[in-house]
Structure 1
Amino acid sequence: MRAAEEKGPQSPDHVEARLAGRLAELRVERGWSLDEVAQQTGVSRSTLSRLEHAQISPTAAVLGKLCGAYGRTMSQLLAEVESEPPQLVRSNRQLVWRDEEAGFTRRSVSPPHPGLKGEILEGFLRPGADIPYDRPPVPGLEQHIWILDGTLQVTVDGDAHELQAGDCLRFRLYGPTRFRNPGPDPVRYTIMIILP
C-alpha cells in the first residue's frame, strides 16, 4: 500500500489510452452503436470512433456530453480509468486532465470512491475560456463552486452568476451549465460534487 502512494501520477498517454478503452466499454455494455451514441450526444460518429481508438483526446465539452449519455460525472469516468485510488490521496497521485484547446485543466483532488458520495475538483481556466455543458451527467447533482483566484462566470439553468475570489455558488444541477473566464487573469476554483 505504501508503495502505491509513493508512485507518481500516471502518464498522460496511459490515461488517454485507458479513457479511450473505457468509453468503448461503456458503449458496448449498453449495446449501442456508434451511430446511436452520435445521435444522443451530437458528437459525430467519426469523432467517437477516433476517441475510442485513442487517436484523439476528448475536449471537455465532448467528454461532458459522453458522461451525460453514460450517466456518469466526469470525475467518475476518469476515476474508472485510474487504478484503485488509495484512501489517502497524495498531491502527486491526483489525476490531472487537460483540454489544451479549451484552456481548461482539472485536478481530481478527492476522486470518486466506492461508499463515498462526494468528490473535490480543482479547476483552472485561462482567460477567455468558455465551456458549455448541455446537461448534467446525473440529474440532481449537488455542486459547490468556491473561487480561489480570478473571476468565473457560471450559468446554471439560464441564471448567470459572476463569482470573485472567495465567493461560493451552490446548487442542484438539472439543466445546462456554462463556465466562462471573462479575464483578464486565469481563474482557479474548487468544485465539491455530491451525488444525489
Structure 2
Amino acid sequence: MSNIEDDLSEGIARRIRLERTARGWSLAELGEKSGVSKAMLSAIERGAASPTATLLVRIASAFGMTLSALIARAEQGAGGLARMSGQPVWVDPETGYVRRHLSPPTDMPLELVKVELPAGAKVGFPAASYAFIRQQVWLIEGRLDFTEGDVVHAMEAGDCLALGAPSDCVFHAPGPERAVYLVALVRSRGA
C-alpha cells in the first residue's frame, strides 16, 4: 500500500472514532445504528481491520453522511485544488474495488469519485447509503451491470445513468475487463 493509502486508512479510523465520540455514542450504539458489530468497529477504530466498502457505507449512513463525506473528512489538509498525487485512494480489501476521491475538500455539495471495479467483482450498497445524495454514474470503460432495486441497467462505455429514489444497489463488472466509472453526487444539507 502507498503512504497516501496508509494515511487515509489511519485517517478513516480516526474520523470514525471522532464522529462517534462527538455524538456521545458508545461502540455498541454505533453498532446498533450501523448494523456493524461492536468488535469490528473497535478493530476498525484501532486500525487493526481494514473495513470493506459495505461496512464503511453502513458506518457513514449511521452518521447521516455519505461514504464520500466520511472519506473527505478523513483527509488531511484542504484547498481548492486536489492534485492527483494527493487524492485519497481507497481499495476494498474484499473485492479489489478502487475508489479515488477526485474533489478537493470543500463545503460544496458536489463530489466526484472515480471507481475501478475488477472484472467479475460486485459491490452492493443499502438504500440508506443513498438517503442524503442524488447521483449519476458515467461509465468510462468496460461494462457495468448496475442493479437499482429490482431494475438492472446494462451499461456500456459512454453511458450515463441518473439514479432514482434510494434503493438497494449493486455495481457489477461482468467483464471481460474491469469497469471504470465516474460518480457525480450532490449531497443534501447535513450530509
The normalised TM-score by structure 2 is 0.90
Amino acid corresponding to residue 97 of structure 2 in structure 1: F
Alignment of 1:105-124 (within 5 A): 105-114=98-107, 116-124=108-116
**Residue 148 of structure 2: aligned partner:** 156
2:11 to 4, 13, 18: 18
**Residue 53 of structure 2: aligned partner:** 60
Distance in structure 2 (CA, Å) of the matches to 1:103 and 1:80: 23
Superposed CA RMSD in Å reads 1.7
Distance in structure 2 (CA, Å) of the matches to 1:10 and 1:143: 30
Moved segments of 4+, more than 3 Å: none
Unaligned runs of 5+ in 2: none
Conservation of the 8 A alpha-carbon contact between 1:71 and 1:138? no
**Residue 27 of structure 2: aligned partner:** 34
Shift in Å, 1:154: 1.1
Distance in structure 2 (CA, Å) of the matches to 1:25 and 1:38: 15
Q: How many residues align?
A: 187
Shift in Å, 1:181: 1.1
Unaligned runs of 5+ in 1: 1-8
**Residue 176 of structure 1: aligned partner:** 168
Distance in structure 2 (CA, Å) of the matches to 1:31 and 1:92: 35
Conservation of the 8 A alpha-carbon contact between 2:4 and 2:88? no
Distance in structure 2 (CA, Å) of the matches to 1:186 and 1:137: 24
Q: Answer yes or no: is 1:99 the counterpart of 2:92.
A: yes
Give CA deviations for 1:31-65 in whole Å, capped at 9, x if unaligned.
22222222222211111100011111111110011
Farther off after superposition, 126-135 or 37-46:
37-46
Distance in structure 1 (CA, Å) of the matches to 2:104 and 2:121: 24
Query: Compared with structure 1, are the counterparts of its residues 140 and 65 closer, same or farther at alpha carbon in structure 2 (3 Å cutoff)?
Result: closer
Distance in structure 2 (CA, Å) of the matches to 1:137 and 1:122: 17
**Residue 3 of structure 1: aligned partner:** none
Distance in structure 1 (CA, Å) of the matches to 2:173 and 2:180: 10
Conservation of the 8 A alpha-carbon contact between 1:141 and 1:172? no
Q: Answer yes or no: is 1:43 the counterpart of 2:36.
A: yes
Q: Answer yes or no: is 1:128 the counterpart of 2:99.
A: no
Amino acid corresponding to residue 98 of structure 2 in structure 1: T
Distance in structure 1 (CA, Å) of the matches to 2:127 and 2:33: 12
Conservation of the 8 A alpha-carbon contact between 1:65 and 1:135? no
Alignment partner of 2:140: what SS? Answer: strand
**Residue 62 of structure 2: aligned partner:** 69
Alignment partner of 1:55: what SS? Answer: coil
Give CA deviations for 1:60-85 in whole Å, capped at 9, x if unaligned.
11001111111111111111111233
Distance in structure 2 (CA, Å) of the matches to 1:117 and 1:38: 28
The normalised TM-score by structure 1 is 0.88
Farther off after superposition, 78-87 or 146-155:
78-87
